[in-house]
């Protein structure tokens, strides 16, 4: 009595049909460029390297995967396979606003933003730089999520350097922004794919 059944449920015909329908789509999204044997960086035995192009969205991503069956080491890296002929510089000036319920707030925090890997994000209050970071991976998130991610990056960096005063100052400014304070945001992306969406999208 009271025992929890952790057994796996049988796969239904509907689930099998979905898998069969999804397989050709995955084949279209993932295109294998190259497979080769390479020395494992950990044990020096033979590892298998595979290179793919992920084509489900722009920019297409070049994915390189290395796996060693001898020691179990594996590593995956990704980079842009293609880029536009131009970069983008997006400047946003989000001033104090009131939310739809009349309370102090900044509805711009709900805007969705795409930052591609390598994009540099700078957040300022008036002309003072609050923080700046480089996006290591492609991200789709709200501007509030982006600000919180920037604070996390700043926190880990400041803790490592022992610069607690700068971190406290940044936290105070970020708290003001999240309560409805005005701020500016600058995104510089050499690939040209980063975007800030209109409100409601």
Q: Give the pLDDT means over successive 10-residue stretches in the chain (201 positions).
A: 39 43 50 84 91 72 87 84 80 70 66 89 84 85 86 66 60 72 88 83 59
Q: Which two structure tokens, joined as six digits, stand for 102?
A: 């009349």
Q: Which of 135, 187, 131, 134 has the alpha carbon at shortest distance from 163? A: 131
pLDDT reported for residue 99: 54
- Residue reference for tokens 């397989």: 23
Q: Which two structure tokens, joined as six digits, stand for 20?
A: 């069969």
CA-angle at 143, arms to 191 and 180, nearest 5°: 145
What are the chain's domains? 25-80 (2.20.25), 88-196 (2.60.120.1040)
DSSP state of 192: S
Q: Which residues pair with 32 in a beta bridge?
A: 52
Which residues 6+ apart lie within 8 Å of 175 measured at CB? Answer: none
DSSP conformation letters of 35-99: EEEEE-TTT-SEEEEEEEEE-SSSSPEEEEEEE-TTT--EEEEEEES---SS-EEEEEEE--EE-
Q: Is the pTM of this model over 0.85?
A: no
| Backbone φ and ψ of 36, nearest 5° | -155, 155
pLDDT reported for residue 186: 93
pLDDT reported for residue 132: 87
């Amino acid at each position: 009595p009271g025992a929890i059944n952790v057994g796996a449920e049988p796969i239904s015909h509907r689930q099998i049909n979905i898998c069969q329908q999804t397989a050709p789509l995955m084949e279209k999204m993932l295109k294998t460029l190259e497979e080769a044997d390479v020395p494992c960086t950990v044990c020096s035995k033979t590892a298998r390297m595979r290179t793919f192009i992920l084509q489900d969205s722009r920019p297409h991503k070049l994915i390189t995967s290395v796996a060693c069956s001898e020691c179990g080491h594996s590593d995956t890296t990704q980079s842009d396979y293609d880029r536009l002929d131009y970069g983008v510089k997006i400047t946003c000036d989000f001033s104090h606003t009131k939310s739809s319920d009349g309370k102090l707030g900044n509805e711009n925090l709900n805007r969705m933003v795409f930052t591609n890997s390598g994009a540099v994000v700078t957040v300022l209050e008036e002309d003072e730089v609050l923080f700046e970071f480089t996006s290591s991976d492609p991200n789709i998130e709200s501007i509030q999520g982006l600000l919180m991610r920037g604070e996390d990056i700043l926190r880990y960096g400041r803790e490592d350097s022992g610069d607690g005063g700068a971190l406290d100052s940044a936290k105070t400014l970020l708290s003001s922004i999240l309560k409805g304070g005005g701020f500016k945001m600058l995104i510089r992306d050499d690939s040209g794919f980063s975007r800030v969406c209109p409100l409601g999208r």
